[in-house]
Amino acid sequence: MGADVVALRDGEPPMLVIAELKLGLNFELVLQAVERMRSADEVWLAVPATRKGRDRDRRAHHLCRLLGIGLLAVTLSTGQVTTLVEAGPYTPRRNGVRRRLILREFARRRGDPMEGGHARGARMTAYRQQALALAHQLRAAPQRPRDLKAVVPEAGTMLLRNVYGWFERTAKGVYALTPAGHDALRIWADHITGSTTDGISGADG
């Protein structure tokens, strides 16, 4: 059988509980617990309690909940056992705000300019994509926000906020491209293409 701890509660039918004791919480231990779930009514993982280790990681707690696996932290010096996650069925509560942000970002992007596994440097996001579209329009001469709305509906707000420092107001209601904006057009040249509105192909960053 190979289980570290097995407990049986009287009843009809009997309830079988298996606990796996290990020196640390890792993926191999989680896989082992999943395998135990095929024969047990409840499966628990017990690991030494730490201050900043994986047993304190909320992502690990969430994974255990999703799998229905219980998690215990044992203080070795005193023998105290703390229940971090209860074993049993769990239905996650949907994060509506995060869901809306992801859907909005997806809707605003044009294409998928990021290479798989990209982690370093500035990310090409929907906001950066739209800022590049504005910079592309302003590369030749200053313009007014109302003249740019056909490319970026939120042109006025983006020019005013000037998140990347690419734009500057040269007169009342008139914006031009800064040297940083021209640099951005060169850096992100591969993500800029011509279209009926001189838009770009990319995403926010």
Lowest mean pLDDT among 5-9, 99-103, 115-119, 184-188: 115-119
Return the pLDDT at 109. Answer: 58
- When pLDDT is averaged across residues 131-149 and rounded to a whole number, the result is 92
Tokens describing residue 186: 């060169």
Q: How confident is the prediction for the chain on average, in pLDDT? A: 81
The span from the CA of 141 to the CA of 15, in Å, is 76
65 CB-near residues (< 8 Å, 6+ apart)? 85, 90, 92
Return the half-sphere exposure (C-beta side, CA atoms, 13 A cut-off) of residue 48.
9
Report the predicted TM-score, pTM, of the whole model to 2 decimal places: 0.49
The span from the CA of 45 to the CA of 43, in Å, is 7
73 CB-near residues (< 8 Å, 6+ apart)? 46, 47, 48, 49, 50, 55, 81, 82, 84
The second-level CATH assignment, the architecture, of 122-205 is Orthogonal Bundle (1.10)
In CATH, which of 3.40.50, 1.10.3470, 1.20.120, 3.30.450 is domain 5-85?
A: 3.40.50
Q: Where in the chain is the domain with CATH 3.40.50?
A: 5-85
